[in-house]
Amino acid sequence: MLIALALLAQVVGWIATSSALPRVDGTTGPMLLLIQPLVAVVGGVVFLAEQITVLQWLGIAIVIAAIGFTTVANARRAAANR
């Protein structure tokens, strides 16, 4: 059962990723992929009652900051090109 669940989650996840990436621009796609580990951590906390360590919180903050900085830089670049 566990193997079937893992395989199903991987197959559905990669099909969704593969079909969505061609529809977004080259900078948005990688930023969205960086969110996946954050969703996994939140899922572990919500569904499995896992505890997040200080190092994990730091990693989450770094990833969110990087996504934010990249999003702002891309928006500024797009506005400058108009």
| Comparison of pLDDT for 27 and 17, the residue scoring more | 17
Least trusted range by pLDDT, from 42-51, 56-65, 67-76: 67-76
Name the residue among 10, 66, 7 with its Cα closest to residue 35.
Answer: 66
Within 1-82, where are the H helices? 2-20, 28-48, 54-80
pLDDT, tens digit, for every residue of 23-44?
887 777 777 788 888 888 888 8
pTM over 0.85: no
Token couple for 30: 């990688």
